[in-house]
Structure 1
Amino acid sequence: MNGLLITLIFTSFGISQGVMAQSRLLESVKRNSDEAKSICESFRDLNKKNISAGSQKSIQKISTQKNISEVDAEILSMYVRGLYCPETF
């Protein structure tokens, strides 16, 4: 019973840390609209080449530029597209 409780505590702590990190990432873009505009411009450039902003190539580029995981880069991509450049694909 105690082992299960300890496991649940550490699991919830790990999940909350991930959520907080993603929240900080999204908040940084929300507070800095120039950063979001820059990301949108790169999405538009990719779209001109018929490459989706959600493509693996795009996600890897964001991941490398921001020094974040590909999962976080994908979340950031969806967030930016949804709020700042929904016309991109």
Structure 2
Amino acid sequence: MSQSEVESKLKKLIIDTLGDELSLDNLEPEDKFEELGINSVIFIKTVVMIEGTFDIEFEDDDLDVNNFVDLKSLTKHVYSKINAI
């Protein structure tokens, strides 16, 4: 799976989590999660969906929303996890 495919799937997961507040067209890789209203609870819900979708597991140290400030940083992390399998 390419990094752009990972990003596309992550965008959809984030939009599904946030509901009608965003669309695929207006979520950019550099948009800050904090500015999008993604708090620690929403982030953990998103991580659970990511783990199931990509069949990966986040380490406990990775479960801090501050480790991933935007879609770009989250995409890099998920992509590296997929390629480490």
- The bucket for the TM-score relative to the shorter chain is 0.3 to 0.5
Mark the structure with the bigger radius of gyration: 1
Q: Which structure features the higher share of helix residues?
A: 1
Q: TM-score, normalised by structure 1?
A: 0.38
RCO (CA 8 Å, sep 6+): is it higher in 1 or 2?
2
